[in-house]
Amino acid sequence: MVEREEFVWVDIYPLDGMPGNWIKRKIHMLRILCTRAMYHLSTIEKVNMKRHLTLVEKFIIKVALLTGFGLNGDTHKWIRKLHELFTKYPFSTSAWIINGMGAYKFKEMFRHEVFATGVPYEFEGELLIGPSDANTYLRQLYGDYMRIPPESEKNMHVDKPELICVKE
């Protein structure tokens, strides 16, 4: 067995509401997807290419790199637009919620009940609040989450995370 040193990563998910109506939800998802793409293009030098990128995303990145479209855009403008989209529908009254900037995109959208009240989980002697229905959450994101993933699917985090704040 090979020893290795790694960072400890703690995920904090900002959960936002999504429209209950199917058509409105699909339109809102498209707006989020396009705005996310413009944000990522504005920070292309920081994009983690090891993330779960779809073929479409890889194509868009290649086109942007070849043409310069969207590169060096106003990152804070796109963050503000994302913030507006994510806060449009209140968490407390939405039937659907999402971790809109998560690596798994819309796979991180759940019925409100999955997170509704939250449940305390013990982690290294601390009680932390997690999903009310952890099984549904983990199964939707990871499939067979009790199976250890192969090395190629591990360590999706970048080595130097950055914090970008939204100023209102």
pLDDT tens readout for residues 120-167: 999 889 998 889 999 999 999 888 889 888 887 765 555 554 444 444
C-alpha distance from residue 157 to each of 66, 71, 165 (Å): 26, 23, 19
Sole residue written with tokens 């396009």: 34
Distance CA 96, CA 30 (A): 16
C-alpha distance from residue 119 to each of 33, 80, 92, 143 (Å): 30, 31, 16, 21
The token pair that represents 128 in the structure block: 């932390």
pTM: 0.73
